Amino acid sequence: MAAFSIRAGRFARLIAVPAMLGVCAVAALVGGLLVWAGQEADEVAVDRQVALATLVASNLRETIAHNQESVTVWDDAVTAVRQASSAEWIDYNLGSWMHTYFGHDGAYVLDPANAPIYQFSTHSDDRPYADVEEVAKPLVASLRQRLLSGDESGVSDRILSLGEADIGVVAGRPALVSIKPIVSDTGEIEQTAGTEYLHVAVRFLDSDFVAALSRDYQFEDLRFAWEPSSERSETNLPIVSSSGDTIGYFVWQPYRPGAAVVSRIAPAATAALAMMLGLVGGLLFLLDRRSHRLAERDARMKHLAHHDSLTELPNRALFHDRLDAALNQSAGELVAVLYLDLDHFKQVNDTLGHPAGDAVIIEFGNRLSGLIRSTDTLSRLGGDEFTVVIPALRHVEDVELLCDRIIDTIRQPFDIEGHQVFIGVTIGVAIAPRDGDTRIELCRKADIALYHAKTSGRSRYAMFGAEMGAILQARRDIERDLRAALARSDQLEVHYQPLLNAATQRIVGVEALLRWRHPANGWISPDVFIPIAEETGQIEAIGDFVLREACNAAKLWPSLSVAVNVSAIELRSPAFATKVAALLLETEIDPRRIELELTESALTDPNGIGDQNVKALRALGVRIALDDFGTGFSSLGRLQQLEVDRIKIDRSFVSGFGRLNGDEAIVQAIIELAKARGLRTTAEGVETVEQGTHLRSIGCDDLQGFLYSRPVTPSEITALLARGSSLVKQA
């Protein structure tokens, strides 16, 4: 017994106690290491989240300013804010659209005296700008001073105009207020420095913004608070104004991977010290997994900063980086830049909605990704604009083949929500070093080539050529000179082409046709300047001019009807019918003598404004003619649905008489259907006696063309009427 006790004491003294002490020491050391590693991991995780939140908050000012510049650096915006009648345009483009597209909570337009001429807000309907003015007033004053002094600091290829922004309290809520001047993008509109109209954008930093920030960057329980949280488990990020005042705080529960690991393995470590080494190995494994997850999240955040959230394609910033890298590493090889723009994409959004539009964008990106090399970069710049960077290009012909494949692939229908959607793509191409060796130069020339391809008919590609710059400049010259011509009275003229009754061979009406006698370039065809007028917003002023001239000329010929062409842009203006009615009343012209000629595309208005204008004008007595019937989307089936009084058969059918293409049968079918609906028919482009004779024989009501007369001045129309039957003898 005594020996047993001695052995037991020795075992305890020499083995058990040292072993227990050793295990406890190892356990204590490992436990200490665990606690220290967990704290370190937690600090790193918290620091990363704080850095990420700080970066997002600091980038918000530039993002909102960039959003504003999509509408403030724009000739049309300058023109609209100067016109009191453009409230709807301002609301759609500078107000509610900014909320719908970019999530802005307020938008205001200030005149040169800093008085609001337009106010949009999601928080108040009663003088909302009064809530913003306290924050905006010093920013407006600073911006006015900078504009007046010609300060250009901060302006770059990304930031196109001066701006001021600050964080403050608006309507009791934290908000970022950004001020931008509304300026000309072409420089053609004169503006006095310091007196520009200003655009004010407001983005609240609580509610929806906090929810989006929490969702996009995975901040747990993120919220805004006026005072910092005293909870040790929460992190506070102060929101500081430009003056250094703390407006409030972003508060959230930071993710702490170390604490989670320690709390998970502590019970197991306490229960079995003998498994310490295994648990240490398991701990290291778990820590490695946690670190891996943190690295994945960090990579995801970096990915979101450089990629488009909808398509996962590189965004503008990464596109610039990739293009710069390709140019720096080209070593004399060719580098191609493609600018791509979807054709008819707006129609998809208007008819099927924005979710369908997003689906088209995603499918478009997928199709393009399958056509390019792994070394190429496909990017989405925003909206329906894409780019492709092709480094290490061997032959220019390879780009041409790629463009052909892209166009052919995109022509295939898109199956979206059970609808087959047909769109196209237009491509502009610039190649280094042939077209330039810098990113800015290549992007500018690819954009010029894209514009050239669009003006040539869309669904095609164009390689940049030196002549394109001249063409673009010529277009800008025409735009500028057309504005000057509208302000004068000696360049734009309205000529009139007679319309003959097929049966009596007498003049029964005339069509008003605009002509431009340029002081330096002579006569400029409407086919050249009318599309430019439609793109630059001058078409409504031109339409007003032609309609007024036609009404005044109609007084000279009481027995004739007068036809005037109307563009889709004019017809879709809510005030169009009222404007026409006022002009008819002013000129004392019987509305039944006026005929407005519209194309079917003008009548296809998803908002229904065009249909409302047509119904109002027909109720007034104005007649409506469907021009160029047989082209574009026109069909005999659609004719049953259109509210018109006359059909004008396109000249392409008349010129096809005598050929083996069935044009005579098509024209006869149009005339018979028109008669069945009680509509009159006019054949355009009659140039031969045989054409006129055949059209009379199949029942066409009226004829128009060079066989009878070219468009002439009002005095020549009066002379033709005085000659009586002499015009018929010409046929």
pLDDT at residue 548, as a whole number:
93
Which tokens in the block code for residue 213?
Answer: 């920030």
Q: Which pLDDT value is given to residue 6?
A: 58
Count Cα atoms within 13 angstroms, Cβ side, for 448. Answer: 23
Residues forming a β-bridge with 512: 496, 564
Residue at token pair 């301002």: 90
Indicate whether this model's pTM tops 0.75: no
Domain at 491-528+560-579+590-730: CATH architecture: Alpha-Beta Barrel (3.20)
How large is the average pLDDT for residues 168-176? 91
Q: CB-hemisphere CA count at 13 Å for 28? A: 5
pLDDT at position 618 over 80? yes
At 292, list the tokens: 């891996």
AA identity, residue 358? D
What is the rounded average pLDDT of the residues 390-404? Answer: 91
Q: Could you read off the pLDDT of 203-237 as tens digits, one per residue? A: 998 888 888 888 888 888 888 999 998 888 899 99
Task: Say if CB 431 and CB 402 are below 8 A apart.
Answer: no
Report whether pLDDT(632) > 50: no
Which amino acid, residue 320? Answer: H
Task: For residue range 136-160, list pLDDT tens digits in order.
Answer: 999 999 999 998 988 888 788 778 8
User: Comparing C-alpha atoms, which of 207, 224, 206, 204 is closest to residue 99?
Assistant: 204
The burial class, CB within 10 Å (0-12 / 13-18 / 19+), for 205 is buried
Question: Is residue 728 scored above 60 in pLDDT?
Answer: no
| Percent of the chain surpassing pLDDT 70 | 88
Per-residue pLDDT band at 46 (split at 50, 70, 90):
confident
Q: Smallest Cα–Cα separation from 536: which of 567, 495, 493, 494?
A: 567
Evaluated on CA atoms 382, 384, 387, 388, the torsion sign reads: positive
Q: Are 200 and 186 in contact (CB under 8 A)?
A: no
Check residue 606 and give its pLDDT. 65
Concatenating the DSSP letter of every residue in 664-722 gives: HHHHHHHHHHHHHTT-EEEE----SHHHHHHHHHTT--EE-STTT---B-HHHHHHHHH
Q: pLDDT digit string (tens) for 398-412?
A: 999 999 999 999 888
Q: How far is CA 186 from its chain centroid?
A: 18
d(CA 424, CA 690): 41
- Cβ 482 vs Cβ 532: under 8 Å: yes
Residue-level pLDDT at 579: 92
> Which of 396, 457, 390 lies closest to 426 in space, CA to CA?
457
Model confidence at 338: pLDDT above 90: yes
**Helix-helix angle 466-487:539-554, to 10 degrees:** 40
φ, ψ dihedrals at 640, nearest 5°:
-70, -20
**How far apart, in whole angstroms, are the C-alpha atoms of residue 411 and residue 65?**
36
Q: Which residues contact 620 (CB under 8 A, 6 or more apart)?
A: 577, 580, 581, 584, 591
Per DSSP, the three-state class of 318 is helix
pLDDT of residue 284: 60
The CATH number given to 316-464 is: 3.30.70.270
363 falls in which pLDDT band (50, 70, 90)?
very high
User: Are the beta carbons of 598 and 642 closer than 8 angstroms?
Assistant: no
CA distance 151 to 245: 26
491-528+560-579+590-730 matches 73-205 in CATH topology: no
CA–CA dist 333, 709 (Å, integer): 60
Q: What φ, ψ does residue 132 adopt, rounded to 5°?
A: -90, -25
What's the CA gap between 14 and 3, in Å, rounded?
A: 16
Which has the higher per-residue pLDDT, 20 or 504? 504
Pairwise CA distance, residues 142 & 565, whole Å:
49
pLDDT of residue 500: 93
Tens digits of residue pLDDT in 255-297 = 877 766 777 787 776 776 677 656 666 766 676 677 677 767 7
Structure tokens at 586: 């002013």
Tens of pLDDT, residue by residue over 659-672, are 766 678 888 988 99
Mean pLDDT of 120-126: 75
pLDDT over threshold 60, residue 495 = yes
* Domain boundaries defined on the chain: 2-56+256-306, 73-205, 215-253, 316-464, 491-528+560-579+590-730
Is the distance from CB of 31 to CB of 66 less than 8 angstroms?
no
Q: What tokens appear for 331 in the block? A: 């070593």
Lowest-pLDDT range, 114-118, 631-635, 657-661, 685-689? Answer: 631-635
**CATH number 3.30.450.20 is the correct assignment for the domain at 73-205:** yes
Q: Which of 168-172, 184-188, 194-198, 302-306 has the lowest mean pLDDT?
A: 302-306
Q: Report the chain's mean pLDDT, rounded to a whole number.
A: 84
Percent share of the chain, pLDDT over 90: 37
- Give the integer Cα–Cα distance in Å for 141 and 118: 19
For residues 230 and 284, what is the distance between their CA atoms, to the nearest angstrom? 33
How far apart are alpha carbons 20 and 480 in whole angstroms? Answer: 94
- Residue 624 backbone class (left: φ over 0; alpha: ψ -120 to 50; beta: rest): beta
Q: Is 76 helix (H, G, I), strand (E, B) or coil?
A: helix
SS3 for 303-334 is: HHHHECCCCCCECHHHHHHHHHHHHHCCCCCE
Give the separation between CA 563 and CA 549, rounded to whole angstroms: 12
pLDDT classification of 130: cutoffs 50, 70, 90: confident
pLDDT in tens, 55-105: 877 788 888 988 988 899 999 999 999 886 788 899 899 988 888 888 899
Q: Which two tokens stand for residue 199?
A: 């655009």
In this structure, what DSSP letter does residue 274 have?
A: G
- 678 neighbors 645 (Cβ within 8 angstroms): no
CA distance 709 to 706: 5
pLDDT value at position 295?
67
Summarize the confidence of residues 623-640 as an average pLDDT: 65
Question: In angstroms, rounded to a whole number, what is the distance separating the alpha carbons of residues 624 and 9?
Answer: 117
Q: Counting Cβ atoms within 10 Å, is residue 469 exposed (0-12), middle (13-18) or buried (19+)?
A: middle
Q: Give the chain's radius of gyration (CA, Å).
A: 36
Q: How many of the other CB atoms lie within 10 Å of CB of 109?
A: 24
**Contact (CB, 8 A) for 517 and 547:** no
